[in-house]
Structure 1
Amino acid sequence: MARPAATPFTRDPLAEHNRLLGERGETIAARHLTQRGMVLLDRNWRCDAGEIDLVLRDGHVLVICEVKTRTSTDYGDPLEAVDRRKADRLRRLGARWLRVHDCHPDDIRVDLVGVLTPPGRPVEVEHVEGVG
């Protein structure tokens, strides 16, 4: 008896939706921050310890930015998803990014950007500087 034909790999629809939503939020956040004068240095930088959504320069300050995107506040505000432990991990990732890129800024800061994209309504962006 013949084996059935192999089926192509398919992603989990919810995971794919969340990935696309996250990418959209990061694009919106990057545009928002660069329009305010920051310079985008890196996006989705990864190492074995984790990922940084956005790395920017704000004057002489290196900004490590976490972006949280939601379509509603049913499960809380997007910024509520980042706690002290996550902010500390972002600082450690920022230090790793600096070593890898041999960069020596005057200061380093962790910022959060919450992006709310409710269907049929305008996008809302909230930027919080220097968390945790």
Structure 2
Amino acid sequence: MSGGESRLLGRWGEALAAEELRRRGCRLVEAGWRCRFGEVDLIAEEGPFLCFVEVKLRKDGRVAQAREFVDRRKQEKLRATAQLYLAEHPTQLQPRFDVVEIYAPQGLATRAPEIYVIPDAF
């Protein structure tokens, strides 16, 4: 898969995740927020929480569940990125880190991808 195809698939997955979060009552605040520490796929408000969401899209979970790819190193990058976001965007909301797993066996051609939201994943 080329870099362009991979980015397209990633953006498609993030759009699916955003749609699922909205369906669950979240308000999307940011998508693809970047800083010197990294990128947060989605930032959403849900009740008293400001959710920093990592989206992981895979064809299947045979090798490992998608959430397992959010390893300690990735978690540290997300925490640092969230700290900078919060410094630039003060809020009374409590930060939370969520993971959205998406399984799409046929990639963009998948008619009904499986989507799992894991609140407070780490």
TM over 0.5: yes
Distance 1:105 1:84, change over 3 A: farther
What CA deviation, in whole Å up to 9, does each residue of 1:21-79 have, x standing for no partner?
11010000000011101100000000111000000011121100000111233542211
Tell whether 2:118 aligns with 1:131: no
| 1:35 equivalent in structure 2 | 23
Identify the match of residue 56 of structure 1 among 44, 53, 57. 44
CA separation in 2, counterparts of 1:105 and 1:28?
28
CA separation in 2, counterparts of 1:106 and 1:73?
33
CA separation in 1, counterparts of 2:98 and 2:39?
14
Q: Structure 1: 5+ residue runs without aligned partners?
A: 1-12
What is the RMSD of the two structures over their aligned residues, measured on CA atoms?
Answer: 1.6
How does the TM-score come out when normalised to structure 1? 0.82
The alignment partner of 1:22 has SS state of helix
- Identity over aligned residues, as a percent? 34
CA separation in 2, counterparts of 1:36 and 1:97?
24
1:97 positional shift: 0.7
1:106 positional shift: 3.3
| 2:104 equivalent in structure 1 | 117
The alignment partner of 1:66 has SS state of strand
Q: Structure 2: 5+ residue runs without aligned partners?
A: none
Larger Rg: 1
- Cα contact 1:87–1:131 (8 A) shared by 2: no
| 1:65 equivalent in structure 2 | 53
- Cα contact 1:71–1:118 (8 A) shared by 2: yes
